[in-house]
Amino acid sequence: MTRFTTILILCLVSGFQALTQDCGSPTLLCAETSNPDSLTNAAPVAFSCMDALYTNYYSFSTNTNANNTGNVTLSVSGIDCMTSGGNDTIQAIIVEVPAGGDPCQPISYVQVSDCLSDTLDFSLESDDLSANTDYIVILGTNHDPANGPCDFNVSIDGPAVDINACCDQEISLGQSATINASGAEAIPGYSWSPALTLDTAIGNEVVAIPNETTEYTLTGFVGDCEVTDIVTIIVGPPVGIPNTITPNGDEINDRWKISGISDFPNAQITVFDRWGQVVFKDIGYAEPWDGTNRGKKLPTATYYYVIELNSTDIQIDPITGAITLVH
């Protein structure tokens, strides 16, 4: 596939050269990082609203999500570019350089964003960008470095330069969740952590069986940049336990129906009165408790239970609680 070079032009100034390289070898910008820099490179750029004498060049790549690459937001912050008591003007534009174009020649640029001009910190959003494409960022201004430095931080983020871990889910203890990854380079691919409760720590699809609510971190590369995303698996109780039954014969809430208990055929349910006497005990719980003890109705009161699920797949601690019986 032919890759296009897109140029994101931002004009800023500074009093000394720091990270920046020229248009033929721009400095790499990665999501999730901030790059402090200054500008002294005398390289005029004139295009759209831009008319800068001093420029810096950066580059970034978009992800491999061809169906929905998205856009980027480029931010310039911490600007310290003082001249006669005020900041000099910063100009910004995003352009594309089609295949065969020269990133050092504005005649090659195709504008893909608004053109901005400001003296304060700002951010600039691009249009939706193409997948798997290289971009160049140029920062510049008319601030004369002889009048002092022009320092700033430049950063980039947004869906086009990120990867995606999908999706947050809520499961019951003992259940599994399949989570997926997209957007990264095929090589080296994806890695996941923590690996202990995953079927594998690598790949674009993994199965998680967490014992508790867990955040999984996905790591991959967009171009030469290592980026991350997080997916959360919320682990709820393995069974749903009502806290009240009203066995009055109206067929509404007459029995203590525990949702999900059928998934645990070896479960043992024990109910005690306030003196610790067992009033109900069953294994498998095929017939929900009706508030009786050996066929006799129990009085209205609060009772206490211990549910041992005895799962053959995962260690689950006994579940304890209280249930109120009301006639």
Assess whether 52 and 192 both reside in one domain.
Answer: no
Give the CATH number, domain containing residue 23: 2.60.120
CA distances from 194 to 120, 174, 215 (A): 41, 18, 8
pLDDT digits (tens, 9 = 90+) for 147-178: 888 888 999 999 999 999 999 999 988 889 99
Containing structural domain, residue 286: 244-325
Final residue belonging to a domain, choices 236, 254, 279: 236
Report whether 72 contacts 156 (CB < 8 A).
Answer: yes
Assess whether 178 and 62 both reside in one domain.
Answer: no
146, 139, 142: which is closest to 18 by C-alpha?
Answer: 139
Percent of the chain at pLDDT > 70 equals 93
Q: State CA 187 to chain mean position distance.
A: 21
- Residue 11 above 80 pLDDT? no
Assess whether 181 and 223 both reside in one domain.
Answer: yes
Assess whether 150 and 226 both reside in one domain.
Answer: no
Assess whether 47 and 124 both reside in one domain.
Answer: yes
User: So what's the pLDDT on residue 21?
Assistant: 57
13, 11, 10: which is closest to 146 by C-alpha?
Answer: 13
- Residue that wins the pLDDT comparison between 6 and 198: 198
What's the total number of domains in the chain?
3
Q: If pLDDT is split at 50, 70 and 90, which confidence band does 14 have?
A: very low
Give the CATH number, domain containing residue 248: 2.60.40
- Residue that wins the pLDDT comparison between 6 and 62: 62
Q: Which of 34-38, 69-73, 207-211, 285-289 is least confident?
A: 34-38
Percent of the chain at pLDDT > 90 equals 55
- Residue 3 above 60 pLDDT? no
Final residue belonging to a domain, choices 220, 236, 252: 236
Q: If pLDDT is split at 50, 70 and 90, which confidence band does 316 have?
A: confident
Assess whether 116 and 205 both reside in one domain.
Answer: no
- Residue 1 above 50 pLDDT? no
Indicate the pTM of the whole model: 0.78
Residues 150-184 as b or e (16 or more Cβ within 10 Å = b): bbbebbbbbbbbbbbbeeebebebbbebebebbbb
pLDDT averaged over every residue in the chain: 88
Assess whether 41 and 59 both reside in one domain.
Answer: yes
- Classified as helix, coil or strand, 7 is strand
Assess whether 15 and 145 both reside in one domain.
Answer: yes
Q: What's the CA gap between 51 and 61, in Å, rounded? A: 26
Assess whether 112 and 260 both reside in one domain.
Answer: no
pLDDT digits (tens, 9 = 90+) for 97-125: 888 889 888 898 888 888 888 888 999 99
103, 94, 84, 98: which is closest to 48 by C-alpha?
Answer: 94
